[in-house]
Structure 1
Amino acid sequence: MNFSAFLRLMVILVQLWPCSLSLRNSSAQNTVQSFTAVRRVKRGWLWEPLFVTEEQNSLDPLYIGQLKSDLDKQDGNLKYILIGEGAGNIFYINEYNGKIYVTQKLDREKKPFYTLRAQAINRSTQLPVEPESEFIIKVRDVNDNAPQFLNGPYVASVPEMSPEGLLINFFIFFQVWCLLCFSPNSYLTEGTSVTQVTATDADDPSYGNSARLLYSLVQGQPYFSVEPKTGVIRMASQMDRETKDQYLVIIQAKDMVGQPGAFSATATVTINLSDINDNPPKFQQRLYYMSVSEEAPVGTTIGKVFAEDSDIGDNAAMDYFIEGDNSDVFDIITNNETQEGIILLKKRVDYESKRRYSIQAKAVNRYIDEQFLKEGPFEDTTIVKINVEDADEPPVFTSENYVMETAEGAMSGSLVGVVTARDPDYDDSPVRYSIVHSTHLKRLFSINEHNGTIITTEPLDREIASWHNITVTATETRNPEKISEANVYVQVLDVNDNAPEFPKNYETFVCENAVSGQLIQSISAVDRDDSAEGHHFYFSMAQEATNSSHFTVRDNQDNTAGIFTGKSGFRRKEQFFFYLPILIQDNGTPPLTSTNTLTVTVCDCDTEVNTFYCRYEAFMYSLGLSTEALVAVLACILIFLVFFLAIVTIRQQKKKKPPFSEKMEEFRENIVSYDDEGGGEEDTEAFDISALRTRTVMRTHKPRKKVASEIQSLYRQSLQVGPDSAIFRQFISEKLEEANTDPRVPPYDSLQTYAFEGTGSLAGSLSSLGSNTSDMDQSYDYLADWGPHFKQLAGMYTSHRSVAD
């Protein structure tokens, strides 16, 4: 036996010693209490408490006890009778001496006691000599049931590195022994509680040790311990989850306080160690090498670093930082999924300026447990060397945007400004400049391809465009693919090159009865130039009109002026219009003056000036027409419009769809086309309408609807339109009679048209086929000669008949 086993045995003995004393005391107390409870001070019956032990196997009845009355003289005159639970089958009483026997094996766990009644009667009189009395037979327990763990399987979790209980060693054994003597229930310093297991025993806990359980650890040393009485599992040593994160602990429960012959049961407890942040991050490498091209844009990923953390979950979460002077050039972010640090380019690098960078990256745990800070900071650092790779870069302008100025009207070839670009590469390739000209814009500027000087190609006008935006490119001569652009904004500076003028054409009127000093017009001015101090205009009458006393100009000193009459009374018959030359001068340098003519019309006014009438008279006067002549012109125009509308209306009526256009698709298949022109204009029998009839269907003749009145109306209309010719009337009569008497019915919804051209034309044929047979010039002016006759002879009769099937 080793020393640890010896210590464990001593601990168990120390546990059992106070327990056995307490059990012994409690057993004696229970026995005394039970006897005291069932003993009677005064009674007629004499018996001791009755007990029967469970699980007794015997072929013969087992004696339990005896019931006896104090009146029994043992002469056989009394008879004992047993009544109640199990009487007669389980329990048997000797009626002569009152001895009770049990005939069956009993199970306390099924029924712990039986209630019976006893009676003693006189055999001769059959009368009771004792009152009926009730008593109890208790079933005494034996250890026949093993403990059971009913709540398994057990799973528990405890944080790693939790505090452990105090381990007993040889040097403190005596101190612990003394401590146990005074306080046997606190024999160890308690470690962290993990979980509690509980076993049950069906035996009687109030009698003996059959149901008194003792817990012990079968598997799980030396990491865990269990309290023998409570089954609480505690930490016995500090454990690291990163070493092992799961333990299987087997707990045994024995009844009879672990004495020989006791029953036992075991339960398995799965204990998982939960993680705590007890490990700092640690970089896998102490030195990283990376590279970046000088062409790389801002935000380019340069590389990744990784600090490993043995913890899991939030305890392994970390943030990365860059320390040092290069934090403005590079940045680092954390990938929360992979816990990697991604180094990004924060500012463009230049191979020609600096070719190598060294940065210090630091990883720090995001969540830190303060109890482990005393062990050291939860962070780690590493060095990252970054090399800048050379690249053929395009030229770089000294500025992305240039703003230049030039005066308007400057002659061609005037200097506008200079742009400068250089090759940033080490070889410093020469640069050539050019302007990106748009196809739809006029080329107003040119640039020197060698030095970037921009000049004008023609004078500029600020009033047309005050700003010009051009794009200048710089191209490497050794590598034409490397091109860069810059924007040049050219502002055209204003010069006073536009004289002021009227903002609109004024219509000025003056009445014949106007008085002197009357305001007839207010005028103002505009200037296309741009004045930095604001425009100020001066108005005056031109020199050639100052001697005239008809009108005067008064400057209001607010860029407006008023035109006033200089006399009273005007006569239209003497002068209808007055033309006033107005001088307008601006405040530019040098000042410009323009002469603007104001036309004043003299009107015949009543008390209220009718401006429209005055304008109408002015217009007539300008045309040189009188009122009577204008009325005649307007009448002619009106007649022309009426005639034009009539022609348009007639043409629209002719272009209307035929009345049967909607039904055209229905009876199209009933139309038969003939290519025979017949014997001439007078041959009306060139076709047989019976060919249009379906041969398989013979229609019966039915009387026509009476349409005499309608035909007569059409006939009268035709007489009104047609000429008063006997031949035409005879033709119409024959066709009407033939249509009314014809037994053959035309196809459904068909249309018959009869046209008559007369017996012949006096002009002969209009065809040009016979023109070659004559040597004389043929006159084709038939419309002029025969037009009126054609209008009288034209006529047409149309009948629309429906077949009544």
Structure 2
Amino acid sequence: MAPLRPAACFQLLVGLLILTFLSEACKKVTFNVPPKLEPMTLIGRVNLRQCLRTPDIITSSDPDFIVLEDGSIYTKNAVSLTSEKKTFAVLLKDLQEHQQKKIHVHLLSHPKKMHKTKETVLRRGKRRWAPVPTSIMENSLGPFPMQIQQLSSDTAQKYNITYSISGPGVDEPPVGYFYIEAETGNLFVTRPIDREEYQEFPIICYAKTLDGYTPEVPLVHLIRIEDDNDNPPIFEPNTVTFLIPENSRSGTVIGQMVATDRDEPDTLHTALKYRIVGQDPPSPRGGSTFNINPDSGAITLAAPVLDREHVDKFLVLIEARDMAGQRFGLCSTGTAVIQVEDINDHAPMCEHGMYEAYVPENTVGAKIVDIGIIDRDAHGTPAWHATFEIIKGNEDGAFKIERNQNSNIGTLCTEKGLDYEKNKERRLEIVVNNEAPYVLGPNARPISTSVCVVVVKVRDVDEGPVFDPCVLILNVKECLEPGTIVGQYHARDPETGNSEGIRYRIINDPCNWITMDDSGQIRTARLLDRDAPDLQIYQCNVTVIATDRSGKTGTGTVVVNLQDENDNFPVIVQTEYIMCRDRKPICLTAVDADLYPYGAPFQFSLPDRATQWWRIVQHDENSAYLEPVGPIDYGVYTIPIRVTDNANHGGTTNIKVQVCDCTTPSDCDNTRMIPPRRDAPNVTLGVWAILAMILGSLLLLLILITLCVCCRRSVPVGGSKHVCDDLANQNLIISNTEAPGEEVMDPNILPVKAGNIVTTDQGVGAVKTGGQESFEMVKGVGHQTLESVKGGGHHTLESVKGMGHHTIDSGRGYGQSMMDAYRYNYSEWQNFTHPRLTEESVRGHTLIKN
């Protein structure tokens, strides 16, 4: 390996020096501590910024110690120094500059000195590191800076101690109010302080040695600002309005004036006293009309002299003074506006005690006279608004008084027309009061109400006929024939008192119910039926007019009431019901178009023929329950029920009840309505049951016809020979059945002789006519089947299927079993016929001989 060049060695040396400089340790710090340290005990504080300006991470190499951002070192756990010295390091890292520094901390153990004299242990006396709180008078005049305290530590006898402070007023807002001399511990204030702004300053005091050791725990020293009486009491708001009714009694509380003082509470600086220093207007009797509580500021009435009609408002000037009201205390004033409320202590009076006026007869709404009112109470209030009452002379209600709210004037008017012939003069007595009740003041006399008299004189006027009565109530029964006389309505001449020469007619009949002739007789105009759909109302007002010989007229009103007649009988609205197997009673409800007394209560009854099966139980006046007497069969029942009204007018309604085998009426249908019952005396068949019976009968008839045809075809024809059942042991059987040829042995092929051929979808069949037997070969599922039917010497294997061929349906039931009994496969047929064949062969045919 080649030696390094001098330049490369120099560069390496510089790099190591730089690395050593970046990670070099700062100066060592030594602290003297007791041999045993409790958790969270302050060891001291080191200057971190002197070692590394901006450390991002501050840790301790020993987990028993923690280091804060200000450099304070505390024990995390209980530490016991087994030796006289313990060393650890404070690690500082700057992540941005990639720097790392260490501060080595040495802890020296020094036990407490104890002097033993015989058996008595002498300990150190009380230390001076915890002075009493410092007080400063607010707004002090100085001179500044002004010394306010001196801090001293007992450890200054051993170490060279320097002092420092921090906290509010030092390095926290407000900054610069206090500072301390590091060598002497003298604490100074730099400026006057307002207690209302800052009441106290908790500053933290430190005592440490020149090397950073802190033998004393940081001390929280409280600097209090003593209050100076520099704030006067203030009323907020300065003006307050109070209300008090007039004629109030002495001692009535009106309100309270309250002032506040910013000085220190619970001192003479905030001990306030109140007093009244002025009043406007002044009391006519001298002195003050009001009193005030010197401690609470509550205002009360001094004497019952408030009269709103004389003075309605007072201005009271109130003073509040601190220092418990002493003359040297600070003070301010506020204004109390006391408004006197009106009460109804004055009765309204009529402007005149007697009024006289004239009014024409038969005039409605005519103004007769205005009655003015005088009232001393507050205008526009309920104590001023007048009320009028006619206490005499208006027994028939012919007069009324209308009041004007703004002017408080009452106007007497006619409510009805006055009749000169009956009374030519009316004398009215009117009493006047207020809306609000009267209130008596202290030692006041009772209030008397005002009464005035109005004489009303009636002037005679030539009048037209007058109907008597002016409104006629006419009750007309419904369903009367048109033109029936139902009443008469006459008018009379008020001058003569008779009805001669007066003619009548209708001028307004909106319903067209009645007519009226010249004599005043009233008849029905048409047939009136309350139940008619075009008749929606049962009362009609008809206006009639009467005309005398001079042409004067008068009107009257006929009120026609259409009365109800008992022309309807009650009926049951719902006529069809379903009763399930629980036989729950059916509720029948009846209605009647007629009104009382021709309506409810209704009576329900059954005819005698239905009482053995059903019964009626009355429920209420409009309904009844229908229930069976005993067990009843399923089916549909029609039950006649008679319902009568309160006047014993009734009719019969047929009710249809369907008794069904169901749980709820919605489950009932025709198939479940009549279940099969052997013991049921009455059986009702449904539509589907009847249809099934008809189809079954038709099918049975078709089968019978088919069998008859088959039997008819199986009878021997002409000279046909009879073939017995025993084909093997009896006579020679003549047959056209051919055996398979020697060259054709396929069991699936059966040659047949020429004859009639029938083709089916099951295979191929052949039938030979002319007294010969027929057979069929059916091809299916890989083998052939032979079907034969005994009878008449001929064996038929298939039924007729079109064009004279006979087939027997063997698809289901007994026919299928019959066919299976006579069906053979091809091998069985071959085994049966082969032993009986002779050597003789006729054109491919083989005869079986006995």
TM-score between both structures, scaled by the size of structure 2 = 0.36
Greater percentage in helix: 1
TM-score between both structures, scaled by the size of structure 1 = 0.38
